[in-house]
Structure 1
Amino acid sequence: MKFTSMDELDVTPGLLTVWRAVPRGAPVGVGGAGWVADGRAASYVQEAHIAGALAGGRGAERAPAWLASAFEMPGADAGVLEGALLAWIDRHESLRSRLVPADEVDGSDEAEESDDGGLRRVTLPAGGVSLRRGVEGDFESGKLLASRIEDVFDAETDPLAWPSFVFATVEHAGGLTLYLGFDHSNVDGYSILLIAHEIRELYAAVSSGTPSALTEVGSYLDFADTEREYAALVHDEHDAVVRWREFLGSGGGRLPEFPGTVGSALSGRGALSGPAPSDRPADAVGEQIGGCDWLLDASTAGAFQSACRDHGGNFLTGVLACLALASRDLDVGTDRGRDPRGQGEFRALTPFHTRSDARWAYSVGWYVGLAPLRFAVRGDDAFADLLPAASAALDGAGEMAAIPFPRVSELLGTPLRPRFVVSYMDMRRTPGARQWGAWKAAALRSRCVDPDEVYLWINRTYEGVYLSFRHPATEHARLAVSRLVAGTGRLMNRVAGGGPPGEPADVKDVLLRDLVPARQQEPAPC
Structure 2
Amino acid sequence: MEYTELTDYSMPGGTVTAWEPAVDASEWQSDSRQLSYMHLEHARRAVREGSDWYSQWIGTAFRIQRPLDRDAFSRTLVAWYRRHEAFRTSVRVHDAGHPQGDLTRITVAADTIAVRERAFGSDLEPAEVSELVTEYFNTTVTPLTWPHCLAVTVETPGDDEGFLVVFAADHTVMDAYTQVFAIRELTALYLAEVTGEPHGLAAFGSYLDFSDAERRLGEQIDANNAAVSQWRTFFDDTTTAVQPESIPRFPQFDVPADAPRTIAAQRTPEEGFQATLSHWLLDAADTKRFDAICKAAGSSMTAGIYTALSMTSAALTGSADLRFISPIHTRNAIEWGEAVGWFVGIIPVAVRPGRPLKFTDALTAVAATAAQYKDVGAAPFAPVAELIGGDVTPPGFVVSHIDLRHAEGSTEWEPRAARVLRSATRDADEVYFWINRIPTGVNVSARFPAANAPAVEVFLSTFHATLKDIVAEGDCEYSYRAGAVDGPTGIDRAVLSAGSPTGVLGS
Return the TM-score normalized by structure 2: 0.86
The amino acid that maps onto 2:76 is: A
Matched residues in 1 for 2:124 and 2:351: separation?
Answer: 52
2:455 match: 480
Structure 1 residues 228-377: aligned runs within 5 Å: 228-250=215-237, 251=239, 254-260=246-252, 271-274=254-257, 286-331=272-317, 344-377=320-353
2:92 match: 100
Which stretch shifts more, 81-90 or 117-126?
Answer: 117-126
Matched residues in 2 for 1:396 and 1:128: separation?
Answer: 48
Structure 1 residues 154-169: aligned runs within 5 Å: 154-169=138-153
Matched residues in 2 for 1:390 and 1:21: separation?
Answer: 48
Shift of 1:62: 1.9
Shift of 1:457: 0.4
Residues 1:454 and 2:440 aligned together: no
Matched residues in 2 for 1:228 and 1:168: separation?
Answer: 34
Q: Could you list the structure 1 runs, at least 4 aligned residues long, displaced by more than 4 angstroms after superposition.
A: 283-286, 377-380, 505-508
Residues 1:46 and 2:39 aligned together: yes
Number of aligned residues: 463
Matched residues in 1 for 2:224 and 2:363: separation?
Answer: 30
Shift of 1:507: 9.8
Structure 1 residues 413-424: aligned runs within 5 Å: 413-415=389-391, 417-424=394-401
1:315-352 Cα shifts (integer Å, max 9, x gaps): 101000001111222336xxxxx5xxxxx520111111
2:199 match: 212
CA contact (8 A) 2:15 2:121 kept: yes
Matched residues in 1 for 2:183 and 2:67: separation?
Answer: 13
Shift of 1:451: 3.0
Matched residues in 2 for 1:53 and 1:72: separation?
Answer: 32
Matched residues in 2 for 1:253 and 1:291: separation?
Answer: 26
CA contact (8 A) 1:68 1:180 kept: yes
Residue among 121, 131, 142 paired with 2:126: 142
C-alpha distance 284-299 of structure 1, shift in aligned 2 (>3 A): closer
Matched residues in 2 for 1:183 and 1:489: separation?
Answer: 32
SS across alignment from 1:70: strand
Matched residues in 2 for 1:95 and 1:398: separation?
Answer: 31
CA contact (8 A) 1:13 1:170 kept: yes
CA contact (8 A) 1:325 1:377 kept: no
Matched residues in 2 for 1:483 and 1:371: separation?
Answer: 26
Which stretch shifts more, 352-361 or 368-377?
Answer: 368-377
Shift of 1:495: 2.5
SS across alignment from 1:162: coil
- Give the CA RMSD over aligned residues: 2.3
Matched residues in 1 for 2:357 and 2:347: separation?
Answer: 24
Matched residues in 2 for 1:139 and 1:422: separation?
Answer: 41
Matched residues in 1 for 2:221 and 2:209: separation?
Answer: 19
CA contact (8 A) 2:314 2:479 kept: no
CA contact (8 A) 2:313 2:321 kept: no
2:135 match: 151
Structure 1 residues 371-450: aligned runs within 5 Å: 371-378=347-354, 381-395=357-371, 397-415=373-391, 417-450=394-427
Return the TM-score normalized by structure 1: 0.83
Which stretch shifts more, 239-248 or 347-356?
Answer: 239-248
The amino acid that maps onto 2:37 is: Y
Shift of 1:103: 5.1
Shift of 1:380: 5.0
Matched residues in 2 for 1:505 and 1:459: separation?
Answer: 26
CA contact (8 A) 1:295 1:489 kept: yes
Structure 1 residues 123-134: aligned runs within 5 Å: 123-134=107-118
2:441 match: 464
Matched residues in 2 for 1:395 and 1:144: separation?
Answer: 47
Shift of 1:143: 2.1
Structure 1 residues 110-129: aligned runs within 5 Å: 111-112=98-99, 114=100, 117-129=101-113
Shift of 1:372: 0.7
Residue among 58, 80, 86 paired with 1:67: 58
SS across alignment from 2:111: coil
Shift of 1:8: 0.8
Which stretch shifts more, 243-252 or 305-314?
Answer: 243-252
1:132-186 Cα shifts (integer Å, max 9, x gaps): 1111112542122111111001111111111122111111132311110001111
Matched residues in 2 for 1:152 and 1:193: separation?
Answer: 22
2:494 match: none
